[in-house]
Every structure is written in C-alpha cells, then in structure tokens.
Structure 1
Amino acid sequence: MSNDKLAQLSEAGVSIWLDDLSRERLNTGNLAELIRDKHVVGVTTNPTIFANAMSKGEAYDEQTRELAARGADVEATIRELTTTDVRNAADLFRDVYTATNGVDGRVSIEVDPRLAKDSDKTVAEAQDLWKTVDRPNVLIKIPATEEGLPAITKTLAEGISVNVTLIFSVERYRAVIEAYFAGLEQAKANGHDLKGIHSVASFFVSRVDTEIDKRLDAIGTDAATALRGEAAIANARLAYAAFEELFASDRWKALAEAGANPQRPLWASTGVKDPQYSDTRYVDQLVVKDTVNTMPEKTLDAAGDHAEITGDTVTGKGPDAQVVFDKLRVVGIDIDDVFLTLENEGVEKFEKSWTELLETVTGQLEKAKD
C-alpha cells in the first residue's frame, strides 16, 4: 500500500465518491483535480447540495437568463440547471466509468423529494431524469420509503440504474435488496441486458449516532452514556452482514449467472456531527471491499490527512454489532422509532431544501427578466 491515505482506502476496495456538485466545481476544474489527485471516482448529489450551489455566486446566471428568455418556468429551470451539471459531471467521469466497466465513474441525481410517498410518480420522474441526462453513468436516486420500494423495482425493470437513498435500518435495507432482485428479474424478463444495470444502496451513518446519542443523553444513566457513539458504525456493520448473506443466496446466484452486478453498499452521511468524535471515524471504521464511501469535501480532506487505514474493519463484526443494539434496547432506546424518525426527517429535510431551491431559482428568474 502507498502512504497516501486515500490511495490506501481505494486499494482496500472502497470507492471514494464526493458528496457534492456545483457548476463552480465543474467550471474551475476543481472536480477534475479531485479525480486526479484525491482518488475520487464518483459524485452524489441531493436537493440540499443543489440548493446550496445555486444560492451562491454567479455560475448559473447565464443559463438562467437563457431559460428566462425562453419563458421556462421555475420547475423546468431547475430541471435544466441540475441535469446540465449532472450530465457534465458524468462526461468528466467517463474515463473512470470505462476503466471500471461501469462500476464507478457514477453521478447520482435524486427524484423530486416531494414524490417520496408516491410510487407511480417516482417511477415517471426517474424515467424522465434518465432520458434527460442521457448518460449511461448516471444513477437515479430513489428514497427507500415504503412507497419507494416498488418504485425501485419498477425503475430497475426498465433498465435504469438506481442509487437507493435514505436507508437507516437493516430491516429496510433487506427490503431494498429484495426490491433490487425483483427489479433485475423483471428487467431480464423485459429483455434488458443485466450487465448494463448498476445500483448502490446508500446506508446513512452519522445521523444514526446523532439521534441515538441525543436519546442516550436524555436517559442519562452510566449504561446509556457508555453507548454514545456506538450505534452508527454497529448499524453499518450489521448492514454489511446482511449484504453478505443475501448476495450469497441462490436467488442472487441465478441473477449473477445472467450477468447481474451486485448492488454495492454505500456509506452516506459520513461527515461527523459531534466534535468529540474523530472526524474520520465513518471512513476508517467502515473499510471493506466492494463498498462506496461518499464524503463531503471536509471529510475527504480529513481522511486524506489522517485517516487510519488498517485494512478491513467490517467483515466478521456483525455479532459484536448486534451486542451493541441489544444493549441499546436494554437501556431503553426504541430502535424502531429511531429509524422511523430519521426516515421522516430525511424526507422532510430534502423537501425543505427543494422549497429553498424553488425560491432561489424563482428569484433568479425574476432578476433575469428585469
């Protein structure tokens, strides 16, 4: 292994993706530099990322003026601005995509978060985004809500590659894998080449510690305090154990023989929220082959500077992780309520960001018309 921390992470089988995208990153060459110098092989976006990008600077002004002159409404303008960024990023990653046979070089774009509870509209939006971006290395992000599960299956059945997002519980993750299998089976029946369909399952990490730590602090006992910061990494390790189990099944083996690609676990929400914790804990404690870690740039820089990459820190740790959750229940943590709360908050956060995006772009359109 090289001395470069990020190279070590990559060599350990973890694909490093950047959890951010903006017109400025594309125009200044910053993203190209991260690909060249920081081993970044993919990008994830979400409504919050685009809301932040479009509220700063002037990078979107010219295209917004052109759209305003054509009479585009705010929804159409957002669609043009975001898909342009994703398309250009996908082109930037095309060499990575080719070199990895489509495994990496991926850029994700999320369906309108207001559709998270509507399966049919989510599928229609996913199809429209896929056609609009028109790049083989795009992933369409669909949230793993109960209504999202059938949408994931139907979207995959159309031959569309999917990033399943907002996964918090291992139980829901198992349902996501089942939805993936069903989607591939239907895609095969529909005549699609399974080799061309890729997927990742975005399992959220830091938010689990944030929510459970808050509840542990409220309980306040020594036993509760001793469990602070234990839940998120344990939860992710249990998810990986589920991945290993289900992707060793006969059902998966039949799909693999037909050319299917495994749906890789992706560690999302890897920025550390609590300053008491190491700022690289959701990177170096989740090192295992055939996974993705998507990081905000602050976490990427921290990992590159001082992450302790010591090889696989996940495989075989499922039993110890289960012990953590058993202890959480004993001290009074309602695990099911934690995950329900996190899912609802996740959807609400992205809906709020979408509203902010609508307000920002509405203002920019009005300014462009003046």
Structure 2
Amino acid sequence: MPTSTPTAQLSAAGVSIWLDDLSRERLDSGSLQRLIDEKNVVGVTTNPSIFQAAITSGSDYAPKIEQLAGQGAGVDEAIFEITTADVADACDLFAGTAAATQGVDGRVSIEVDPRLAWDTEGTIAEAKRLYQKVAKDNVLIKIPATVEGLGAITAVLAEGISVNVTLIFSLDRYRAVIDAFQSGLEQAKKSGHDLSQIHSVASFFVSRVDTEIDKRLDALGTPEAAALRGKAALANARLAYQAYEQEFATDRWSALAAEGARPQRALWASTGVKDPAYPDTLYVTELVAADVVNTMPEKTLDATFDHGEVTGDTISGTYDEAAAALKALEDLGISYDDVVGQLESEGLEKFVASWSELLADVQNALKTASGSLSQARS
C-alpha cells in the first residue's frame, strides 16, 4: 500500500478512509479491491440511495433478479437478498483488514429499510434480520438517529450487534446517540456479551449543513452573511468532535472501557463538496483528527488522493472559533435547531424516496423476468 500519497498521510494522521459506495460491478470488476490496494480504503458504507443507483443502472443484477423471479420472490424479498449478498461479499473482501485492526476497520454498513426510521420495534427487528442474513462479524447495521431510532440503537447494541448510527446533524442529538451507545453496552455487559467485540460509529453529516445555511446566508445578502459562507459545516463537525472527547472521558465510559469496550468513533459523512466555489477536499483535509472515519464518494476520494493537502490535526484547538461561528449565525437570525431539524427530515425523505424508486424498478424487473421465464417454459 502506498505510504507517501495524501490518502496514506490521512491514514497516518488517524483517519480511517471508507468508501461511500458499493455495487455488484465494484465487487466483480475488482475496482473496490484496487481502492483498498492503492488508496488506503479500509471500509465501505451504503445507504438506500446508493443501492437504488447500483441496482437500477446497467445489467449487473439481471441474473440475480431472474433467479429470484424464478423462485417467486416478491419485491421486498428480492431487494433484501440482493443488498445483503453485496454486503456479505464486501465483508469478505475486507476480512483481512478487520482481522488486522481487531474489527475497528474492515467494516461494511447496511441500512435498515428507511421506512422504519420512525418505528423503534420495527427497526430492531429489521436490524436483527439483516445481521443474521449477512452473517459476517465485520458488518455494521445502520440505524438513523431519529428520536425513535435511539431506543433501537440501544436495543441492537445490547444484543451484541455492531451499529453505524446515521443521519446525525445536531450536536444535542449526537450526545443523545453517544448516551444510547453507552446504554447499549451497559445492557450488553449485563447479558454477558464481550464488549470488545461490539463496534460502533456515529455518522455526522457535514456538507448538507453548508448547503442549507449558505442558502439562508445568501438570502440575507449582507456582507456579514457572506463572511460566514462555508463555515457552518466545519464548525458543527468540529464541535461534534469536542463532544466525542468529552463524552468518552467520563467515569461512566471509564467503567465500560475497563470491561474492554471500544469508543464509538465519529464518522464524517456527506463529505462530497456541493458548492464548486469550495475546495473539493474541504470536508476531508479540514476534518483530520485521531480516531475518526471519513466516508467518501469516489469523486472525493480521487480528489484527496490526487491533490489533498494533509497537514495533520485540523480539529483540535478550533472549538472556540467553531462555537463563535455558530453563534454568529444565530445572531443573524439563522436558527441552528431549525436547520438541523429540516436536514434530518429531508435526509430521511430522500432515503425513503430512493427506496420507493428501487421498489418500483425491481418490481418491474421481476415482472419482466417472470414473463420471459413463462415464455421460455411454453
């Protein structure tokens, strides 16, 4: 593996690079393996939008859909079988990384059906079903950080299942996620689980914060507003890392760590830059600190590998400046609570919409495949 590239420097600085994408084509063509070999990728995240794009583009899934049609599978079953197969194969690809890092990296995430985001018991049941189906030690089950999701996070961790908590935008919700994580480990300990085998990341979304706040700043149209463009997302993420440092320095956490528990790492998600006025590596090189994950779309990974300037820790020591940036936004009348609430709602709506599109597309593909099979038999 290269040792002098920007991605290698990022890894050396304590950032685990995960790819925010997965498809059958990536697995079969060897492109994912090349990213592991050449660009320091040590994990993968998926979401409903990623699977919708993968399954509905090209013909890579046609044989599997035809097989499932022949078995009389319904659309929900078909999607479950396809997505879990991709994740299981990716887990195998990262098995060596997982072993070398004692399960810290080499992780592949799969998300519960987004329609269950407001259903605690439904999320718990689906998380267990996904975990049992993938049947790989290095899988992470993704659960959205909705209010209803918090109880599910605790319950799933209590079963000894590793979790990726996703769609976190607010600092208050992030602290609630950490509390849910520690509660899950406390319950897991009481049930006799080995805490050293339970892993978790908390996916804190970055770029969408700037997208929404910059829009509101532009609407104000003042010099003071213009001066704050592009500052909110980094400030929010940096204060999240401060919260991480604080919440994992308590007596409560020390008691769990003494039992072998590993901290829930902060993961920077939504790190592709949406505004071309900003550097395309902004949410990578400006969010470097020890023991974090940055999951990147391939475009951002390539940009980082090509011209990312890694200068070491760019988070520690920024907390006062970050807090001042968020206060300045409030002083201009931009409500932090309103922004993060809107972003959570929009994020969930986007995933549900992608899932609905995927259901419709796979339903049509199953129907077509069934028709072809019927003609062949006649």
Which residue of 1 is the match for residue 48 of structure 2? 47
Shift of 1:190: 1.0
* Matching of residues 10-49 of structure 1 within 5 Å: 10-49=11-50
Q: CA deviation at 1:361?
A: 0.6
Q: Which amino acid aligns with 2:125?
A: A
Once the two structures are superposed, what CA deviation does each residue of 1:323-362 show, in whole Å capped at 9, x if it has no partner?
Answer: 0011000111011000000000000000000001101111
Give the Cα separation in 2 of the matches to 1:191 and 1:130: 19
- Deviation string 1:287-324 (CA, Å, 9 cap, x unpaired) is 10100000000000000011110000001211110000
Taking the aligned partners of 2:316 and 2:170, their CA distance within structure 1 comes to 18
Aligned equivalents of 2:321, 2:154: Cα separation in 1? 33
What percentage of residue pairs aligned between the two structures are identical?
63
In 1, Cα distance between equivalents of 2:321 and 2:102:
35
In 2, the alpha carbon distance for the partners of 1:38 and 1:362 equals: 37
Correspondence list, 1:249-328, <5 A: 249-328=250-329
* Within-5 A mapping of 1:31-180: 31-180=32-181
Is residue 338 from structure 1 mapped to residue 329 from structure 2 by the alignment? Answer: no
How far apart are the structure 2 equivalents of 1:129 and 1:276? 40
Give the structure 2 partner of residue 248 of structure 1: 249
Aligned amino acid, residue 153 of structure 2: I
Q: Which runs of 5+ in 1 are unaligned?
A: none
Distance between the aligned counterparts of 2:272 and 2:163, measured in 1? 23
* Deviation for aligned residue 1:363: 1.2
Deviations 1:221-258 (CA, angstroms, capped at 9, x unpaired): 11111100000000000000000001000000000000
CA distance, structure 2, for counterparts of residue 311 and residue 145 of structure 1: 33
Question: In structure 2, the residue corresponding to 1:147 is in which secondary structure?
Answer: helix
Amino acid at match of 1:59: D
> What code does the residue aligned with 2:62 have?
D
Structure-2 separation of matches of 1:250 and 1:260: 13
The one-letter amino acid of 2:258's match is E
Residue 220 of structure 1: how far off its partner (Å):
1.3
Distance 1:67 1:55 in 2: 16
Distance 2:365 2:186 in 1: 45
Q: SS of the counterpart of 1:41?
A: strand
Deviation at 1:364, TM superposition (A): 1.0
Cα distance in 2, alignment partners of residues 97 and 206 from structure 1: 28
Per-residue CA deviation, residues 40-71 of structure 1 (Å, 9 max, x unaligned), is: 00000000000000111111111111111010
Shift of 1:145: 0.5
Equivalent in the alignment of 1:233 = 234
CA distance in 2, matches of 1:200, 1:31: 22
Paired residue for 1:188? 189
Deviation at 1:181, TM superposition (A): 0.5
Aligned equivalents of 1:88 and 1:340: distance in 2? Answer: 36
Distance in 2 of aligned mates of 1:133 and 1:222: 53
Structure 2 runs not aligned, ≥5 long: 372-378
Give the superposition deviation at 1:262.
Answer: 0.5
Q: Deviations over 1:95-135 (max 9, x none)?
A: 00000010000000000000000101000000000000000
Hey, what does 2:374 align to over in structure 1?
none
Q: How many pairs does the alignment contain?
A: 370
Query: What displacement does 1:3 show?
Result: 3.0
Residues 196-224 of structure 1 show CA distances to partners (whole Å, capped at 9, x for unaligned) of 10000000000000000001111111111
CA RMSD of aligned residues (A): 0.8
Aligned to 1:207: 208
Query: In 2, Cα distance between the equivalents of 1:2 and 1:134?
Result: 33
Tell me the distance in 1 between the aligned counterparts of 2:233 and 2:291.
20
Q: Which 4+ stretches in 1 moved above 6 angstroms?
A: none
Q: Summarize the Cα distance change of 1:238–1:366 in structure 2 as closer, same or farther, 3 Å threshold.
A: same
Cα distance in 2 between the residues matched to 1:3 and 1:306: 12
User: 1:256-286 deviations in whole A, cap 9, x for unaligned?
Assistant: 0001011000000000000000000000000
Letter in 2 for 1:363: N
Question: Which letter does structure 2 place at the counterpart of 1:76?
Answer: E
1:2 Cα offset (Å) = 4.5
Structure 1 residues 47 and 96: CA distance shift in structure 2, 3 A: same
Distance (whole Å) between structure 2 residues aligned to residue 315 and residue 111 of structure 1? 34
Amino acid at match of 1:263: Q
Aligned-partner Cα distance in 2 for 1:319–1:199: 28
The separation in 2 between residues aligned to 1:25 and 1:292, in whole angstroms, is 21
